[in-house]
Amino acid sequence: MTAMPSTPVYTNIRRILEQQRASLLAALHHDVRETCAETVQLGDEHDPLDVSAVTAQTDIRVSLINSRTRTLAAIDAALMRLREGRYGRCESCGEPIADARLRVVPFALRCTRCEDAKETADRAERGRGMLARRLADQRHASLSTPVNVHAEPPH
Ligand SMILES: [Zn+2]
């Protein structure tokens, strides 16, 4: 048994992944610093229009932080798979991921087919979650008044 030689393609991918990881980390640090600065700014802001502008900006930054954190986790997973020799295989069906896809998304964990299926499932899941929250809000709204009416007087 001979160890699988590390192919030049994958050596290249490791370097790309490590570079992406470093620049993502730098971007994340920047985002977190900016978000903190904006939050401090919010405390000093008295104009409601400015407050909502800053809040909207912070919302965008927070969703950016979330998506960068997800990408970072995917890059870490891909680097681990490289180390373990599992890189390039779909996490769901075990089939090789197309080279063309890996060149565009070096941290892809699934083949295009499984990724599409997962995205469709995630969207459906999010849709259900949103509906459940809306229903809960409605229930909460219709309950809040009677609860106050029947509240026990303080002893
Ligand atoms: Zn697959």
| Residues less than 5 Å from ion ligand 1, measured at CB | 90, 92-93, 111, 114
CA distance 99 to 111: 10
> 127 and 76: one domain?
no
> 3 and 67: one domain?
yes
How far away, in angstroms, is 109 Cα from ligand 1 center? 9
> 10 and 85: one domain?
yes
Beta bridge partners of 89: 96
How far away, in angstroms, is 45 Cα from ligand 1 center? 50
How far away, in angstroms, is 116 Cα from ligand 1 center? 9
CATH number of the domain bearing residue 80: 1.20.120.910
Q: Is there a contact between 86 and 56 (Cβ–Cβ < 8 Å)?
A: no
Between 137 and 119, the higher pLDDT residue? 119
How far away, in angstroms, is 101 Cα from ligand 1 center? 12
The tens digit of pLDDT for each residue in 63-81 reads 999 999 999 999 999 999 9
> 11 and 69: one domain?
yes
How far away, in angstroms, is 112 Cα from ligand 1 center? 7
> 66 and 133: one domain?
no
Angle between the N-to-C axes of helices 8-44 and 48-84, in degrees from 0 to 180, rounded to the nearest 10: 160
Span of 20-24, 79-83, 84-88, 128-132 with lowest mean pLDDT: 128-132
How far away, in angstroms, is 39 Cα from ligand 1 center? 42
- pTM for the predicted model, two decimal places: 0.67
> 124 and 135: one domain?
yes
How far away, in angstroms, is 118 Cα from ligand 1 center? 10
How far away, in angstroms, is 135 Cα from ligand 1 center? 35
Burial 86-107, CB ≥16 within 10 A → b, else e? ebbbbbeeeeebeeebbeebbb
> 28 and 96: one domain?
yes
Which residue segment(s) compose the domain that 83 sits in? 1-110
Between 154 and 34, the higher pLDDT residue? 34
What letter does residue 89 receive in the DSSP assignment?
A: B
In this predicted structure, the answer to whether residue 23 has a pLDDT above a threshold of 90 is: yes
Tally of domains in the chain: 2
Say what percent of the chain tops pLDDT 70.
84
